[in-house]
Amino acid sequence: MWRPGIAEILIVLVIVILLFGPGRIAKISKELGSSINAFKEGLSGEKKDDQEEKAKTDQDSDQKSEK
């Protein structure tokens, strides 16, 4: 089975940069990263806000139990 070498990968990258430009590639990669994070949050069923609230609630209950 054929595997791409370094030369082939570089050629593809040059073509992509010529087609989209460096600014648009950065925008696309940023959007892709945020999409992946949203997908991971959807799979776990919790959001960052929910995790922060849970941690805060746990800290509050720990402080109350120490008193």
pLDDT at 44 over 60: yes
- The residue type found at 8 is E
Residue ranges covered by each domain of the chain: 6-66
For tokens 């070498």, name the residue. Answer: 5
Percentage of the chain modeled with pLDDT above 90? 33
What is each CA distance from 21 to 11, 16, 25, 47, in whole angstroms? 15, 8, 6, 34
Per-residue pLDDT, averaged over 1-30, amounts to: 90
Q: In the chain, where does DSSP find H-type helix?
A: 6-20, 22-44, 48-66
